[in-house]
A and B are shown apart, each in its own frame.
Chain A
Amino acid sequence: MTRTPDRLADPRTAHPIIVRGAQLSDGERTDIRLEGGRVVELGSSLDARGAETIDADGLIALPGLVDLHTHLRQPGGEGSETVLTGTRAAAKGGFTAVNAMANTDPVADTASVVEQVHALGVASGYATVRPIGAVTRGLRGEQLADIGAMARSSARVRVFSDDGICVSDPLLMRRALEYIRTFDGVLAQHAQEPRLTEGAQLNEGAVSAELGLAGWPAVAEESIIARDVLLAEHTGARLHVCHLSTAGSVDVIRWAKSRGIRVTAEVTPHHLLLTDEEARGYDARFKVNPPLRTQADVEAVRAGLADGTIDIVATDHAPHGADAKSCEWNAAANGMVGLESALSVVQSTMVDTGLIGWTDVERVLSIAPARIGDVTGHGEPIAVGSSASITLFDPSARIDFGVEQLAGKSRNSPYLGRSLPGAVRWTFHGGVVTVADGALVELGEK
């Protein structure tokens, strides 16, 4: 580095940047010149005159990460996260775009709410915020939300989800799938059969039986996915399965794809790493929906991600204040923050295990989620003319993950106290430096 981070960060000065000696996902080593929000030159020994120079020796350059499943909590949940704090967490984790889930208060079921969230994202500057629209009004599962108005709004919503709640009514699900075809939208389903999961607290299995926590059976997820892929086939609509968590779900998706059904699927970092064994001790940081599953499920979702059955990794970043977590298990809120740790967990579970390489990481954390969510300007492989939304990652680093790694408002990370590989060193959002040498940059008001 040759300049101070705050100068690099100022979008108004918008200095050209030379990233010196980064390794692209395919292993090729190159300098990268960023200018005017674009990659303008690749090659070795690029002329650095007039540009800030960043030493990227040993760092991997990835297109900025795109999260298809983020809870930013605003409006309504500002005590645990805001669009600003959530996008700061995103930047810290190497993300340059996030899709904000609709379960806010008020629910993002009208054009005015999604436009507000979108505008807050623009104002934050840390990451592009694409609001997800609710499928049903108030997430109540009774009538369709203002899908068309949200799609045609300035937020240009393309992903619709009642996440947190399953669109369980089969007729309403069918209608929603049909209706979003108007905009070639995608319906992101939280697959959870409600009757099979009444009062459910933890994966139904050996651990729940012993701990006396009401079981959340795998079949409650798999049966909804099976129904939904058939509805997607019948309607020709695009279905996206949120946070798939069981071995059986991987099988159903694999079968659906073999039939040519337009379905995509995501897995969260925590379902790639953690199992229900973590619930021993009743530490509610490990309470999440869908719940942590078994080691066999972990192996299956890893294999599914490696062979392409599962398309993407999405964080399901779900901030909660301390009061919602430091209480009895049944009373605690579901969810974990995950933006800051996602890339490290993927390295730990998928790359360091030899299951996938960095081109796959680039695909599952940037290119594919941007494609599924139609997040324009993101998820472009680094090339001359591609977006200057880029993440520089040090895979040789090792961090003791603690609260100092968290940049959002909440601390409900399941990884606190763990050692994780890799560290995000630099994040560029449209050419603006948001993370400089591992530290979040203060962008100030736009």
Chain B
Amino acid sequence: MKHLLSTKDLSRDQAIHILDVTEDMAATQQREVKKLPTLRGKTVVNLFFEDSTRTRISFEAAAKRLSADVISFAAKGSSVSKGESLQDTAQTLEAIGADVIVVRHPVSGAPELLARSGWIDASVLNAGDGTHEHPTQALLDAFTLRRRIHGDASRGKGLDGVRVLVVGDILHSRVARSNVWLLSTLGAEVTLVGPPTLMPFGIDAWPVDTSFDLDDALASKPDAVMMLRVQSERMNAAYFPSAREYSTLWGLSAARFGALPETTVVMHPGPMNRGFEIASVAADSPQSTVLEQVSAGVSTRMAALYLTATGADL
């Protein structure tokens, strides 16, 4: 795998293979010495045009556990803000010796542009681009869910028939998009839930059901409920009348959580707005995978770095 740009273009076999490699990586993280020599001599650059401490340190940890040299570069001035161009930045990093460039960018498609422009030879790993995709997040979510369902027998398995609700701001969410493609590729049945203002226009062709009614959707007793973070800038942009109303209609409240079967997995990509889209009782419950997702993030990114840096066949 040269690049990891999206989950949309992953086949089922490829996706399962990445999840299985993630299992291997996770197994190594149970050892006393967590560090592997796999990427010794390789240089991984975390090129972040957007602040994201969580994702950046997750990639940093993953690269270091694989013995890669890691450079983290917070590029404040993209060409969007009339600073150095993306091309110049990427070529500079490659001249420094980058083998893999992990890129987080506020503009959809920027990683794909880097990968396909011919500017650089390095592998490109999408760490979240605009409102497009966040493939490692979806992979770690799928890994976490597969583990919860299949446990130690996860290898080789998909998520066939698993019913997942994705709740919240679908319109602006790259996490939702990456999850829609990956979950459906793995055989899960996905329902998107949120206010109509936060549903993308033109998702009729997506392999999902949609609902505006969270209670109705929860009544179907889904296997997993994935709550998305609502960004503060949406609060005052007329997507919904007020934060309170949003929380009332689309938040996973204590009452809604209490009505769910104990087998329903509660997921959140973090960081959470506690008391807004998710009640603490849900977030901190045994059904919650929030911290497992964070751990799985390191293993998933180890797998992604390993597969791209070595150009391994998928």
Binding site for B on A (CB under 8 A): 201, 204-215, 217, 281-282, 323, 326-331
Contact of B107 among A204, A207, A281, A331 (CB under 8 A): A331
Q: How far is the CA of A108 from the CA of B110 in the complex (A)?
A: 35
Determine the chain B residues whose CB is within 8 A of the CB of A214 once the complex forms: 131
A211 and B202 form a contact (CB under 8 A):
no
Q: Is B205 an interface residue (CB 8 A)?
A: yes
A206 and B204 form a contact (CB under 8 A):
yes
Supply 20 further A-B pairs (C-beta < 8 A) apart from A323-B85, A327-B86.
Answer: A204-B201, A204-B202, A205-B202, A206-B203, A206-B205, A207-B202, A208-B200, A209-B200, A210-B206, A212-B133, A212-B174, A215-B200, A217-B201, A281-B116, A282-B108, A282-B109, A282-B113, A327-B79, A327-B113, A330-B130
Interface of B is mostly: loop
Q: Is B112 an interface residue (CB 8 A)?
A: yes
B117 and A211 form a contact (CB under 8 A):
no
Q: Is B129 an interface residue (CB 8 A)?
A: yes
A327 and B87 form a contact (CB under 8 A):
yes
Contact of B79 among A205, A211, A212, A328 (CB under 8 A): A328
Q: Mark B179-212, 1 if CB is under 8 A from A, else 0.
A: 0000000000000000000001111111000000
Q: Mark B130-155, 1 if CB is under 8 A from A, else 0.
A: 11110000000000000000000000
Chain B residues 70 to 93 lying within 8 A of chain A, measured CB to CB, are 78-80, 85-87
Whether A210 touches B79, Cβ cut-off 8 Å, given contacts A215-B202, A328-B110, is no
A212 and B202 form a contact (CB under 8 A):
no
B78 and A328 form a contact (CB under 8 A):
yes
Determine the chain B residues whose CB is within 8 A of the CB of A209 once the complex forms: 200-203, 206
A-B contact pairs, 5 of them (CB 8 A): A213-B108, A213-B109, A214-B131, A326-B117, A329-B110
How many chain B residues sit at the interface, stated as a range, is 20 to 34
Determine the chain B residues whose CB is within 8 A of the CB of A215 once the complex forms: 200-202
Determine the chain B residues whose CB is within 8 A of the CB of A208 once the complex forms: 200-202
Q: How far is the CA of A282 from the CA of B105 in the complex (A)?
A: 14
Closest 5 CB pairs of A and B: A282-B109, A212-B132, A212-B131, A209-B200, A212-B108
B201 and A205 form a contact (CB under 8 A):
yes
Chain B residues 164 to 188 lying within 8 A of chain A, measured CB to CB, are 174, 177
Determine the chain B residues whose CB is within 8 A of the CB of A213 once the complex forms: 108-109, 130-132
B130 and A212 form a contact (CB under 8 A):
yes
Q: How far is the CA of A281 from the CA of B110 in the complex (A)?
A: 10
Q: Is B12 an interface residue (CB 8 A)?
A: no
Determine the chain B residues whose CB is within 8 A of the CB of A328 once the complex forms: 78-80, 86, 105, 107, 109-110, 113
Q: Is B221 an interface residue (CB 8 A)?
A: no
A320 to chain B, nearest CB (A): 14
Determine the chain B residues whose CB is within 8 A of the CB of A327 once the complex forms: 79, 85-87, 113
Q: Is B8 an interface residue (CB 8 A)?
A: yes
A212 and B201 form a contact (CB under 8 A):
no
Q: How far is the CA of A277 from the CA of B77 in the complex (A)?
A: 30
A63 to chain B, nearest CB (A): 42
Determine the chain B residues whose CB is within 8 A of the CB of A281 once the complex forms: 112, 116
B173 to chain A, nearest CB (A): 9
Q: How far is the CA of A329 from the CA of B109 in the complex (A)?
A: 7
Determine the chain B residues whose CB is within 8 A of the CB of A323 once the complex forms: 85
Residue on A nearest B114 in the bound complex, by CB: A328
B8 and A210 form a contact (CB under 8 A):
yes
B192 to chain A, nearest CB (A): 11
Q: How far is the CA of A206 from the CA of B203 in the complex (A)?
A: 6
Q: How far is the CA of A6 from the CA of B139 in the complex (A)?
A: 65
Chain B residues 250 to 282 lying within 8 A of chain A, measured CB to CB, are none
Whether A206 touches B131, Cβ cut-off 8 Å, given contacts A328-B105, A330-B80, A331-B79, is no
A260 to chain B, nearest CB (A): 35
Q: How far is the CA of A210 from the CA of B109 in the complex (A)?
A: 11
Q: Mark B97-117, 1 if CB is under 8 A from A, else 0.
A: 000000001011110110011
Q: How far is the CA of A212 from the CA of B202 in the complex (A)?
A: 11
A211 and B132 form a contact (CB under 8 A):
yes
